[in-house]
Amino acid sequence: MINFENINLSFDGVQVLRNVSFNVPPQQMTAVLGPSGSGKSTILRLIMGLIKPDSGRVIVDGEDVTQMSERRLQRARRKMGMVFQHNALFDGLSVAENVGFYPTYVEKKPWKQVLAEVMELLADLGLADSADKLPSELSGGMRRRVALARSLIYHPTILLYDEPTTGLDPYMTEVVVELIAEMNEKYSVTGIMVSHDLPTVYDIADHVVLIADGSATVVGHPSELLRSQSSEVIGFASSWRRHIIEYSAEIERKDEGPEAR
């Protein structure tokens, strides 16, 4: 569904991405990992056509977004939902109005019709009782759920997550992780997630790509962060190794049931 083909990109003479090539499997969650400043979030901006590479192609549903006019990009973006790290909600609008903003103000649908769909989606996400509240009245985890609802309202086939659990406490992180997994399965979307949170990657991702020193390394399943022989993966995961082993053991104990504890 999404293919990066030999992408090169520089900012102010500094090369950020160098011959980056990888595929995002359809209807799975791909996690993009890498050190700070490695260009992870740039991957999301390239998919949406917000920036153009110096060379190479980004193929989304068979079309090269790097060659699209702004009008064609607007149509292509209707397939995509974006959940921002800081939620990007409208402070002066209620939860329901935030979620229904796109179909009401962009698609020009009548509010009565939009509201019915908004309330159904809010119920799915455990937010029905918060429909009339302002974002400032919600916890960080609830605001993240509102951001997810706002992305799902126009039924995207691709969902992009920029650090979806950053700033959340452990409980709300677990809630958001479970919701993302549930929504991905329910709506059969293709997900791309930029994250630094190892448990989130292990819980959600089917596929991992490492961006480091401007290049991409396809890791595969998150468990390959331990088994990969790639020097790039070994170098990046070395500081995580103990945490990966401990977390993997915890997951195995959960899978085996109470008798394993």
Pairing assessment for the beta strands 2-11 and 55-60 based on DSSP bridges: antiparallel
Query: Two tokens at 116?
Result: 């019915």
Architecture of domain 2-79+156-260: 3-Layer(aba) Sandwich (3.40)
Contact present, 218 and 21 (Cβ < 8 Å): no
Q: How far apart are CA 249 and CA 29, in angstroms?
A: 22
Q: For 62-106, what is the HEC assignment? A: CEEHHHCCHHHHHHHHCCEEEECCCCCCCCCCCHHHHHCHHHHHH
Q: pTM for the complete prediction?
A: 0.81
Helix spans in the chain (H): 40-47, 70-77, 95-99, 101, 111-124, 140-152, 170-187, 198-204, 224-227, 231-237, 241-256
What ranges do the domains of the chain cover? 2-79+156-260
Query: Strand 80-83's sheet: what is its strand order?
Result: 80-83, 158-162, 190-194, 29-33, 207-212, 215-220
Full pLDDT tens readout for the chain, 261 residues: 899 999 999 998 889 999 999 999 999 999 998 877 788 889 999 999 999 999 999 999 999 999 999 999 988 888 898 887 666 788 899 999 999 998 898 888 999 899 999 999 899 888 999 999 999 999 888 888 898 888 888 788 999 998 888 777 888 788 888 888 888 888 889 999 998 777 788 888 999 999 988 899 898 998 888 777 788 887 777 766 666 666 666 666 766 666 555
